[in-house]
Amino acid sequence: MPRVEDVLRQWGGEFALTAYDEPSGAYMFIAIHSTRLGPGAGGTRMKTYATPADGLLDAMRLAEAMTLKMAVAGLPMGGGKSVLAVPGELDPDTRRNLLLRHAHNVHMLGGNYRTGPDMNTNSADMDTLCEVTPWAFGRSVDNGGSGSSAPDTAVGVFHGIVASVGHAYGSEDLAGKRVLVQGVGAVGEPLVEMLVKAGAHVIVSDVTLDRVESLYDRLGVEVVAPASVLDTECDVYAPCATGGVIGPEDIPRLRCRIVAGAANNPLSQRSDGELLREAGILYAPDFVINGGGAIHLIGYEALGWSQQEVERGLVGIGTTLSRIYADADAAGISTEEAAERLAAARLAEGRRGPAPA
């Protein structure tokens, strides 16, 4: 476990706001990594951590990934993220009051940080935040928002998987390809549906048994136990649950040709992209392939895009990945490094314009 002061020194982000919410016992963090391309944007994650410092570090790392995500997707936003590090499940009133207090903190940042849904928060929670502040994307459609971004995140991941298969196998045809989806929640489930439709042999795994059972009953997918995921032979391993699922010690165990999924920060360290390259595994950098949620939220709500324009943005995830793979091959570097270079170039040329309304 790294020390907070070391991480703060290495982080390179702008600032982090920290607070403690007495009634819920939650620690509250808002990390703004970069406002170079626009207001820092990124979701509000509610999660229980081993220590409050783990929550802060998660917010900082996730905010950094948002900076890269926005830059690569060409969106006029910077990177930020919030973490509400809760001691456990909260009763509805306590949870609501925590969200209202978080909304107050978001509001104090005056639009320089804009939040949205993330792990364990949803459109209804964004509606709650909007009782206090306008700076939350992803409100429910009834309340003037664009609704859940999870289905479009899945569409973006699907395009990314197609592009990755095309690069690794010379054909984008998914028919018969074994694709393992780890985590079949709001993003993983629609992804599984698209993969099945495209003729892939889909394998699923989830710590929540009900979820895999319903997919097994409905679509006849293969099921593996969570503990067996990393050892399962497949063409594509798509981590779509929590991050940190691939540590350096796990890479020799992997039995896949491609890692391409929706999870934020699936590698316990970014530098492990190089280990994947050495192992002959094609890695779709998370902040590229999972940009569909940001494209949905910012496209509809900040840029006034039509559905067709959002769809074009989602298809662009595949195109961008193909370019990153070609760049990585040409330079003899990892795909992670190539993607970071693309983001760095966008950040270097980017000038912060007026914030979208």
Q: How far is the CB of 36 from ligand PPY (least distance, A)?
A: 16
Tell me the C-alpha distance between 208 and 8, whole Å: 35
Q: Which is nearer to ligand PPY, 73 or 174 (CB)?
A: 73
From 2-10, 16-24, 115-123, 314-322, give the range in contact with ligand PPY by CB under 6 A.
Answer: 115-123
The minimum distance between CB 349 and ligand PPY, in angstroms, equals: 21
Chain-centroid distance, C-alpha 339: 15
81 is annotated as an active-site residue: yes
Tokens representing residue 214 in the block: 């319903």
CB closer to ligand PPY, 118 vs 336: 118
User: Does residue 137 belong to the site contacting ligand PPY (CB under 6 A)?
Assistant: yes
116 near ligand PPY, judged by CB under 6 A:
yes
Residues in a beta bridge with 182: 205, 239
Site for ligand PPY in 37-56 (CB under 6 A): 41-43
Contact of 146 with 152, CB cutoff 8 Å:
no
Quick check: 135 binds ligand PPY (CB under 6 A)? no
- For residue 203, give the H/E element and its range: strand 201-205
**Minimum CB–partner distance for residue 68 and ligand PPY (Å):** 11
Could you say which residues in the range 183-222 bind ligand PPY, by CB under 6 A?
Answer: none
Site for ligand PPY in 215-274 (CB under 6 A): 264
Pick the closest to residue 43 from 156, 107, 143, 123 (CA basis). Answer: 123
How buried is 283 (Cβ within 10 angstroms: 0-12 exposed, 13-18 middle, 19+ buried)? Answer: buried
**DSSP state at residue 130:** T
Q: Least distance (Å) from ligand PPY to the CB of residue 323?
A: 20
| Complex with ligand PPY: residue 115 or 123, whichever CB lies closer | 115
Report in angstroms how near the CB of residue 149 gets to ligand PPY at its nearest. 6
Active-site hit among 47, 69, 81, 177 = 81
293 binds ligand PPY (CB under 6 A): yes
Q: How far is residue 207's CA from residue 55's CA, in Å, rounded to a whole number? A: 21
What CA dihedral angle connects 314, 214, 212 and 122, to 10 degrees? 50
What is the CB neighbour count within 10 angstroms for residue 20?
11
Active-site residue list:
81
Q: Which residues contact ligand PPY by CB under 6 A? A: 41-43, 114-116, 118, 137, 264, 293-294, 297-298
